[in-house]
Structure 1
């Protein structure tokens, strides 16, 4: 079967017709190739067809082909699509894998051979889970509490360090605002190696570093994988990190049959050490490599493609491309600009109520926090929706817990337990010793009356406590929106939040965004209970809609 018959047969049996650029990539005779695929250019179709070509035209054993991609979802999609289209030609399963999964296999096989026990701590619960270990080490080393936001930032920092292969001595030089990052990083690495003699603890990032180390230090293992997978294809290659790139280069060094698919314009994971420079330097690393650019878009209208093509030229570190489509023209792109967030939400709801848009509309948002107000409005307008890949812990955020505790305390200023959670978060003039004193007092009396009755208390401080009692009584009479503003500005919660954020190196932008979101949700509500119930309901709705 020659190439012409291959593509004719493919078209007849699958209905898939390839353009000339796609055919050129699929029928590449061998050696390193970089396929730059602009959005909607059919990269997954081409990558799968390339695998089929290797098997049917070049006689490659399917067991010698390794297809790697960035995410588990992408690997599954490639597998499903290959079997749907080409399962009639190939009965053996192709190895579609994430890079992490491939590296985990290297580590697991090697450790079993060397009789080394290990435990994966990413999905473990309890004291040996990754989050629990990081939280404990952070608080031991810094003597400060690790919030959920800071925990995520710390985990991302460690991921960045390991994926970028940054030496420990240079950790303090990277632009990441985590207190004592090098100290905590070294403690974390030491803990995983030594906490349980004879049973090493590893996380997802260790799969990469350990696999790279094994391939580097054991030529026999490296040769085994080089011979097992002389043909390697990588998808979403703009998202691979420095260490992932090194692993791929090691495995393909013997055969040099590397088929790289990606788009330098679509790299969005720089915070995780994604390295699109690898694509830009591909010919430097592989002097004899071919570079093919697929620029035809099959997905979108000319109006969308033209605007996208002009927009992306703002990226100066890139391969020059010119996207086009032969799809029929459709509606023009409309851009609406608003002064305030609520105007934007009002417009979106109004548009979605047009029946023809229901079930045909996707809404992209800047970050997960931005989705909360949108979901609140969609539910309020009784518009059906579902949320994709939402993993944000908004409803468990400590800022929300603080606000709800302020409101709860305003109902009963006798509750020392609630006061203990917030006394340091407003101008309370209350010390730790006084909290301990209140715990031993009669709980039928206002805590402020107990404090005002303390012996040898200065008159001005007694006056302070009487004023606080008045303020919390006033807070109890307010609707949720006014109460939120009163807590922020009159009780000076926001000022304390700024001080706390500065001390721990937290982003005040995130905390401020949460407060604004809470105010938006509180609009039109009458009681604090209504507000608390609304938050609980939205949390449940998010879980059900994900």
Structure 2
């Protein structure tokens, strides 16, 4: 392979970070500044200068991201990148646990529970304790509580107390379900995804020989989206990098959005304090947004007291200015957006080139109703459409029966809401009513 032309391929900010000297490195990569490109060239640079790729660890938040970086690095240095350890924290913890889980009392052929497996195990635990029912949290909710407690290393009771603060739930019952869930997992020689992280860190905390082996093995560690790490992941990396300290982390404290699942952006902010010799690089040239949008972003974040100071500079030219509209309530917002969509359509804009963003799904309920009323087609790219949500379908089933007393599907859905009434019982009642229900 020809030598990499870093001068041609990277801008000065990216090049400085990619070619940074050994030791702790913090790359503050603002949105749209070529973070992935920089990290890819860092990997390629290490391989090109002779570092054995089998002794490089690349940690990402999706396996897809790791594959994309390795594919790009392969285009730069060929198959020399083969053997690099690349993947998610969960993937890497699992890879190590498959060799050393015996030290924690597991068989090496342990099972990894997916969300559905874990949900079933929690449901069984709650049912055996006589807690399964409409007035007790659903298994998915309990799993979220257990996961947050694990990732924050907090007692389940404390997390549950905050989670159910305004609900008449006995916290001790939640703890009992969790204890049963943990015992059942161990009996099955199984781990859920959170256990991979928790046990991966426990392995390093309690078994210095195992930790020392991997500290010696990895010459360089690189971490993507570091602002989204939780306490467990940050400590796991710190322990692993404890001897050589050749640790490069990339992220942006402005883009930390996963605190609800235990992520702590302070891992990013405190990195230079934990690693006093840290070399800090900033990527501030934005290739994604126009100047007007960056001006708004810079102004909005300027008052944040906890941040690394940075100013984004745009490469693209302005097309139009952002507009701030002050409205009152969801209905008024929905009507304004609808009017804007109709104006754009009359101006010749393609509807499939228009996106509406919102912070949470419940913010879109009024808008979905307006769009449905005006028969404007739309696609929800994540989550469930308003009229397809279970509780909404329950209500519309009653309305359907009011309009059409012969609607058997609506009748069966309503009866299924009653305790101990299944599909067969509902069918018998339907027949007894003469296949009609006048509400």
**What TM-score, normalized to structure 2?**
0.82
In 1: Cα distance, 2:430 partner to 2:45 partner: 79
Instruction: Give 1:27 shift.
Output: 1.8
Report the equivalent of 1:526.
none
Report the equivalent of 1:243.
232
2:302 to 282, 296, 313: 313
- The CA deviation string for residues 299-335 of structure 1, in whole angstroms up to 9 with x for no partner, is 2211111111111124222112222224333322233
Unaligned runs of 5+ residues in structure 1 are: 425-434, 448-468, 473-546
Distance 1:187 1:33, change over 3 A: same
The 8 Å contact of residues 402 and 421 in structure 1, kept in 2 or not, is answered as no
- The CA deviation string for residues 37-73 of structure 1, in whole angstroms up to 9 with x for no partner, is 111111111111111111223x211111111112334
The 8 Å contact of residues 168 and 182 in structure 1, kept in 2 or not, is answered as no
The 8 Å contact of residues 6 and 15 in structure 2, kept in 1 or not, is answered as no
- The CA deviation string for residues 388-442 of structure 1, in whole angstroms up to 9 with x for no partner, is 4x24486664313421431354344998866644579xxxxxxxxxx99x96995
Distance 1:305 1:417, change over 3 A: closer
Distance 1:266 1:165, change over 3 A: same
- The CA deviation string for residues 278-319 of structure 1, in whole angstroms up to 9 with x for no partner, is 111112211221222222212221111111111112422211
- The CA deviation string for residues 173-216 of structure 1, in whole angstroms up to 9 with x for no partner, is 5455473455434533443434674x322111111011111121
In 2: Cα distance, 1:263 partner to 1:441 partner: 62
Instruction: Give 1:97 shift.
Output: 0.6
Is 1:324 matched with 2:313?
yes
1:78 to 48, 58, 69: 69
Is 1:137 matched with 2:125?
yes
Report the equivalent of 1:443.
433
Instruction: Give 1:81 shift.
Output: 3.3
In 2: Cα distance, 1:446 partner to 1:355 partner: 49
Is 1:165 matched with 2:153?
yes
Report the equivalent of 1:368.
361
Q: CA RMSD in A?
A: 3.7
Instruction: Give 1:259 shift.
Output: 0.3
**Off by >6 Å, runs of 4+ in structure 1:** 413-416
Distance 1:184 1:35, change over 3 A: same
Kindly indicate whether structure 1 or structure 2 has the higher relative contact order, using CA contacts under 8 Å at least 6 residues apart. Answer: 2
Report the equivalent of 2:23.
31
Structure having the higher Rg: 1
1:377 to 357, 363, 371: 371
The 8 Å contact of residues 223 and 250 in structure 2, kept in 1 or not, is answered as yes
In 1: Cα distance, 2:53 partner to 2:183 partner: 38
In 1: Cα distance, 2:182 partner to 2:51 partner: 41
Q: Tell me, what secondary structure is at the counterpart of 1:299? A: coil
1:208 to 193, 197, 211: 197
Identify which range, 242-251 or 348-357, moves more after superposition. 348-357
Report the equivalent of 1:495.
none
The 8 Å contact of residues 409 and 418 in structure 1, kept in 2 or not, is answered as no
Report the equivalent of 2:422.
none
Is 1:187 matched with 2:183?
no
Q: Tell me, what secondary structure is at the counterpart of 2:308? A: coil
In 2: Cα distance, 1:6 partner to 1:379 partner: 61
Is 1:61 matched with 2:52?
yes
1:348 to 337, 341, 350: 341
Q: Tell me, what secondary structure is at the counterpart of 1:40? A: coil
In 1: Cα distance, 2:84 partner to 2:229 partner: 21
In 2: Cα distance, 1:441 partner to 1:358 partner: 47
In 1: Cα distance, 2:226 partner to 2:244 partner: 19
Q: Tell me, what secondary structure is at the counterpart of 1:41? A: coil
The 8 Å contact of residues 414 and 444 in structure 1, kept in 2 or not, is answered as no
**What TM-score, normalized to structure 1?**
0.67
Q: Tell me, what secondary structure is at the counterpart of 1:300? A: coil
Distance 1:261 1:89, change over 3 A: same
Report the equivalent of 2:275.
286
Identify which range, 342-351 or 203-212, moves more after superposition. 342-351
Is 1:272 matched with 2:261?
yes
In 2: Cα distance, 1:107 partner to 1:89 partner: 27
In 2: Cα distance, 1:422 partner to 1:186 partner: 27
Identify which range, 367-376 or 221-230, moves more after superposition. 367-376
Is 1:10 matched with 2:6?
yes
- The CA deviation string for residues 82-126 of structure 1, in whole angstroms up to 9 with x for no partner, is 334x244845253331111111212222237974442222155xx
Instruction: Give 1:347 shift.
Output: 1.9
Count of residues in correspondence between the two structures: 420
Identify which range, 31-40 or 140-149, moves more after superposition. 140-149
Report the equivalent of 2:249.
260
